[in-house]
Amino acid sequence: MAQGLSGETPGSAATVDCAAVDFDLSADQQALRDAAATLLDRLAGQDALRARVGRGTVVGTLPGAGAAGGDDAGADAVWAAMTEQGWLALEVPHDEDGLGLGMVEVAVLCEQIGRRLVAVPFLPSVLALGALSTTEARADAATKEWRDALAEGSSVGCVALAPAGAIVVDAAGPDGTPRLHGTTPPTTFAPSADVAVVVVPGAVYAVDLRAEGRPDAVPAMDRTRELGVLSFEASPAVAIGGGEAAELVLDRAATLASAEMLGAADRVLSMSVDYAKDRVQFGKPIGSFQAVKHMLADALVDVEGMRSTVYYAAWCAAAGDPDRALAASMAKAWCSDASRRVTGTGLQVHGGIGFTWEHDMHLYVKRAQLDQVSYGDAAFHRDRIATLLRARLASGQGLA
């Protein structure tokens, strides 16, 4: 995202004497977006999506992870292409053979993935890699193997946010290793993951699922992604962070999940506008009716609001801005609610065809429903916003 630029906008000299700010993506970020769109259109278009969900069976993501139902050849090809182009290593520093970019660029990719409902574990793997790359996590030599494997795309990560009381941590087991007891909420791509990052109140742990065993996939309305429940019984774990690390994982997860919702909502809006132009009723395209125009106009406002909150949150994370947590929760709260409204409008505009298996609309609705509750739903993040603002007022900082 472009930084502030010196200069004046038309008419600015007569109103406010300050530098103009460019809120659009930079030229490099736009090029990344266009290249990602081209790659995903070629390898993860509608045919690949239908091959994945056509028979209604959710299977693994990596070669050999699943055996029955569905077709994972498309997902394998996309994952290989992402790996080859360095998508997983986007935030890895140059001196570690990464691209040295930031959260805004990751959000750009997540938006394009969400727009096409791509069935790859990019988001959880990037989140896991980020959690394993903090200074505290790097202090444990065991994390380097996971970081390298995740950055190369040879391993998959998943991230589980456990509510208070769901996971009990035995901080020092018989051998001095922390051990986890309990069950996480359903977690995307857990059945294919090699390492699980488990966030509990005040701490972050990593668990080697290759040793502990991956969970089976559970039935889910969203058929574009796997869902599994992680169960731990004195499972050995590596402590990779404390309270600050837990907040960072939550902020990154909320921001990037919001970016995926943005992409999906934008696609639903485009599909709905195109359908409203083509569908004729009473001798006129339904898009000419005022009620339909109003619904689509409201959906556009929602989508643009999503875009603003997502990229502001991503910029805050990339820049280390003090508003990072607030911006992330604002993005997740707004995008969760807005995505529900936009997909609801899409169903209304499409009418009966939008409810059929043959149309893609229901796939966007179901994916959005899972995203809305992943990494904290809107109510959770509104409560978090209130807590953050209350703390500011208590410290005398004010809300500005």
Measuring CA to CA, how many Å separate 86 from each of 63, 100, 107, 109, 146? 19, 11, 15, 12, 16
> Out of 68-77, 105-114, 246-255, which region has the weakest mean confidence (pLDDT)?
68-77
pLDDT for 61 equals 47
Question: Which residues fall within 8 angstroms of residue 397, CB to CB, at 6 or more apart?
Answer: none
Residue 372 CB-half CA count within 13 A:
20
Torsions phi, psi of 363, nearest 5? -70, -40
pLDDT at 97 over 50: yes
Contact 91, 106 (CB under 8 A): yes
**205 or 65: which carries more pLDDT confidence?**
205
The answer, as to whether pTM is greater than 0.85, is yes
pLDDT band at 21 (very low <50, low <70, confident <90, very high): low
pLDDT at 68 over 60: no
The whole-number average pLDDT for the span 304-333 is 96
Residue 23 has a pLDDT of 72
Residue in this structure with the two tokens 């005040």, named with its chain if needed = 202
What 3-state class would DSSP assign to 347?
A: helix
What token pair was written down for 235? 């499972």
Q: How many angstroms from the chain centroid is the CA of residue 349?
A: 27
Average pLDDT over residues 283-308: 96
Q: How confident is the model at residue 72, as a pLDDT?
A: 63
Which is nearest to 257 in space by CA: 389, 369, 347, 341? 369
pLDDT reported for residue 198: 98
Average pLDDT, stretch 39-63? 72
Q: Cα torsion at 230, 130, 303, 324 (round to 10°)?
A: 110
Amino acid residing at 252: R
Answer whether residue 377 shows pLDDT above 90. Answer: yes
What are the pLDDT digits (tens) for 296-305?
Answer: 999 999 999 9
Q: Residue 218 and residue 150: Cα distance in Å, rounded?
A: 24
Neighbouring CB atoms inside 10 A of 138's CB total 13
User: Which is nearest to 44 in space by CA: 128, 126, 109?
Assistant: 109
Query: Per DSSP, what are the bridge partners of residue 195?
Result: 157, 208
Is 278's pLDDT higher than 60?
A: yes
Which pLDDT value is given to residue 247?
97
Mean pLDDT, range 263-268, rounded to an integer: 98
Beta-strand ranges (E) seen in 222-373 are: 227-228, 231-236, 238-241, 280-281, 284-285
Mean pLDDT of the region 243-249: 97
pLDDT of residue 70: 47
Cβ neighbors of 309 (< 8 A, separation 6 or more) are 258, 327, 330, 331, 334, 335
Q: Is the pLDDT of residue 65 over 80?
A: no
Contact between 384 and 376 under an 8 Å Cβ cutoff? The reply is yes
Give the whole-number percent of the chain exceeding pLDDT 70.
89
- Phi and psi angles of residue 280, each rounded to the nearest 5 degrees, phi first: -105, 130
Tell me whether strands 280-281 and 195-200 are parallel, antiparallel or unpaired.
unpaired
| Segment 104-134, tens digit of pLDDT | 999 999 999 999 999 899 999 999 999 999 9
Q: What digits encode the pLDDT tens for the residues 326-370?
A: 999 999 999 999 999 999 999 999 999 998 888 999 999 999 999
Q: Which two tokens stand for residue 197?
A: 């990052």
The pLDDT mean for the chain works out to 89
| Beta pairing, strands 187-188 & 157-161 | unpaired
Given a cut of 70, is residue 7 above it in pLDDT? no
Tokens of 308: 């603003």
pLDDT of the residue at 245:
97
Q: In this predicted structure, what is the pLDDT of residue 1?
A: 60
pLDDT tier at 176 (50, 70, 90 boundaries)?
confident
Identify the weakest region by mean pLDDT among 25-34, 58-67, 99-108, 387-396.
58-67
Residue 265: band (very low, low, confident or very high) from pLDDT cuts 50, 70, 90: very high
Higher pLDDT among residues 170 and 264, named by residue = 264
Tell me if residue 356 falls in helix, strand or coil.
coil
Q: Which residues pair with 181 in a beta bridge?
A: 168, 233
Question: What is the pLDDT at residue 4?
Answer: 42
